[in-house]
Amino acid sequence: MRHIISILLQNEAGALARVAGAFSSRGYNIDSLSVAPTHDPSVSRLTLVTSGSDAVIDQIIKQSRKLVDVVEIMDLSSTDHIECELLMVKIAVDASTARSVVECVRAHRAFVLDETESTRMIQLAGAGPEIDAFVEELSRLTKVLELVRSGVAAMERGHNVIEVPA
């Protein structure tokens, strides 16, 4: 099963490596990893996507809680949450593909960030399946030259928050 793990982590050297090590030592691949400071500059939020059985992921979360750098940790997979990632893609364009590319960009609510005579750099933010569909459609229309995805960012819906314990 796919799991989205949200971790509040102290901004300390090696903290990310220790958390990632807890997953890799159990033989679990990290499919996506996104980390950045929060509104509190001493704490970063790490969002990690992995696949595994509920029991093993629960055990990894329990062991991660024991790491000195982990402030709080939560598996968002079983909660009502919203997830999003950012895509930047550079594609080749010419006179024969330009119009169909523009229609695709509009249909997916994407944005052109940069354009030259023969390329376009496009940005799209959305859930993974939306991004996958956009890339697949672009690939049918033209050549993808370069692609980068940010990894998943996710938050639980409603009033519940993952926060530094008082």
Assigned CATH topology for domain 82-149: Alpha-Beta Plaits (3.30.70)
User: At how many degrees (to 10) do helices 128-141 and 98-107 cross?
Assistant: 170
Q: Where are the domains of the chain?
A: 2-79, 82-149
More confident residue, 52 or 155: 155
pLDDT at residue 45, rounded to an integer:
95
Task: Give the DSSP per-residue string, 99-165.
Answer: HHHHHHHHHTT-EEEEE-SSEEEEEEEE-HHHHHHHHHHHHHHS-EEEEEE---EEEESSS------
The domain made up of 2-79 is a member of CATH 3.30.70.260: yes
Model confidence, pTM:
0.84
- At residue 48, the pLDDT reads 92
What is the pLDDT at residue 53? Answer: 86
End-to-end alpha-carbon separation of the chain, Å? 32
Q: Is the pLDDT of residue 3 over 90?
A: yes
Question: Confidence class of residue 119 from pLDDT cuts 50, 70 and 90?
Answer: very high
How much of the chain exceeds pLDDT 70, in percent?
A: 99
